[in-house]
Structure 1
Amino acid sequence: MPIVVRLDVMLARRKRRAKDLARAIGMTEANLSLLKSGKVQGVRFATLAALCRELDCQPGDLLDFEPDEEAGDTTSGLSRAG
Structure 2
Amino acid sequence: MDVTVFRDVKALSQQLRHARKAKGWSQGDLAQRAGTDPRQISRIETAAHEPKLSLLLAVLAALELDLGLVPRRGASSQTARPRPEDIF
- 2:23 equivalent in structure 1: 14
User: Equivalents in 2 of 1:75, 1:31: separation in Å?
Assistant: 27
SS across alignment from 1:39: coil
Question: In the comparison of the two structures, how many residue pairs are matched?
Answer: 64
Tell me the amino acid that sits aligned with residue 36 of structure 2.
Answer: M
Q: Give the TM-score of the pair, scaled to structure 2.
A: 0.57
Cα RMSD after superposing both structures: 2.6
Comparing both chains, which one has the higher relative contact order based on Cα–Cα distances under 8 Å and sequence gaps of 6 or more? 1
Q: Give the TM-score of the pair, scaled to structure 1.
A: 0.61
- 2:64 equivalent in structure 1: 56
Show structure 1 runs of 4+ deviating over 4 A: none
| Structure 2: stretches of 5+ with no match in the other structure | 1-7, 69-81
C-alpha distance 75-52 of structure 1, shift in aligned 2 (>3 A)? same
Query: Is 2:46 the counterpart of 1:44?
Result: no
User: Equivalents in 1 of 2:85, 2:37: separation in Å?
Assistant: 32
1:19-34 → structure 2 map (5 Å cutoff):
19-34=28-43
* % identity of equivalent residues: 16
Question: CA offsets per residue over residues 24-78 of structure 1, 9 Å max, x none?
Answer: 22211112111111111x2212111111211111237xxxxxxxxxxxxx93499
SS across alignment from 2:36: coil
Tell me the amino acid that sits aligned with residue 16 of structure 2.
Answer: L
User: Equivalents in 2 of 1:12, 1:47: separation in Å?
Assistant: 19
Instruction: Point out the structure with the larger strand share.
Output: 1
| Structure 1: stretches of 5+ with no match in the other structure | 61-73
User: Equivalents in 1 of 2:21, 2:56: separation in Å?
Assistant: 18
